[in-house]
């Protein structure tokens, strides 16, 4: 029987070159959650940095994780953490950028397709096709004109978006906490009406 631990994974790319890009919003949200816990990441043997803690005093056990590798290899370290912490994939929450949502919108869902997102594809592949994990989809909008999606998500946010980014990151972190404390349906009822 799997443990009652939640694994929260924020997707992104390593290094300062990518730190403030659209593709790294998952890392930004995890950094916000780690700050709220007044904790620091530790490195693991599976290629991820983690914080293992409780959400609030006596609250649920959570493992916050960011991969040390690139987006398209996210699945291997996440699978390693799922195995190590004995996490049911239904208690895996993945925070990622979503071009099919306007900037500032957040949508929560369980399962479904990967929608061309290479990080999600890698996770599903390493979970042997299991798509039953929860996604926190953070809207970054579609690229303008004929710009390639890959080029767009690897760019920094526009000045207007950068001004609103701290609030978006906080709201996405709130959504993660709601999923853990209220369940997915309760979190959806709150987040989708905002």
Task: Assess whether pLDDT exceeds 70 at residue 1.
Answer: no
Distance CA(11)–CA(82), nearest Å, equals 15
User: The whole model's pTM is what?
Assistant: 0.96
What's the CA gap between 18 and 21, in Å, rounded?
5
* Helix axes of 118-126 and 75-84: crossing angle, nearest 10 degrees: 40
> Is 126 known to be catalytic?
no
What value does the CA radius of gyration of the chain take, rounded to a whole number of Å? 15
Q: pLDDT per residue over 4-43, tens digit each? A: 999 999 999 999 999 999 999 999 999 999 999 999 999 9
Residue 1 covered by a domain: no
Structural domain boundaries, residue 129: 6-191
Domain for residue 177, yes or no? Answer: yes
Residue 106 lies in a domain: yes
| CATH code of residue 46 | 3.40.50.1470
Of these residues, 23, 27, 96, 117, which one is catalytic?
A: 23
**Rounded Cα distance, 184 and 109, in Å:** 8
Residues making up the annotated binding site are: 18, 70, 72, 118
Binding residues for tRNA: 18, 70, 72, 118
Domain count for the chain = 1
């Amino acid at each position: 029987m799997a443990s009652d631990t939640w694994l929260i994974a924020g997707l992104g790319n390593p290094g300062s070159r990518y730190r403030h890009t659209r593709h790294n919003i998952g890392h930004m949200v995890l950094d916000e959650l780690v700050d709220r816990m007044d904790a620091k990441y530790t490195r693991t043997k599976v290629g991820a940095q983690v914080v293992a803690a409780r959400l609030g005093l006596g609250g649920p056990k959570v493992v916050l994780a960011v991969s040390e590798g690139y987006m398209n290899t996210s699945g291997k370290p996440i699978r390693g953490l799922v195995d190590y912490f004995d996490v049911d994939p239904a208690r895996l929450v993945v925070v990622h950028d979503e071009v099919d949502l306007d900037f500032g919108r957040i949508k929560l869902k369980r399962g479904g397709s990967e929608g061309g997102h290479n990080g999600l594809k890698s996770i599903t592949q390493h979970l042997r096709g299991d798509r039953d994990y929860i996604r926190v989809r953070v809207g970054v909008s579609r690229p303008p004109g004929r710009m390639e999606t890959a080029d767009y998500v690897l760019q920094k946010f526009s000045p207007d978006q950068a001004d609103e980014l701290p609030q978006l990151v906080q709201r996405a972190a709130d959504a993660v906490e709601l999923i853990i404390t209220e369940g997915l349906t309760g979190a959806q009822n709150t987040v989708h009406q905002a």
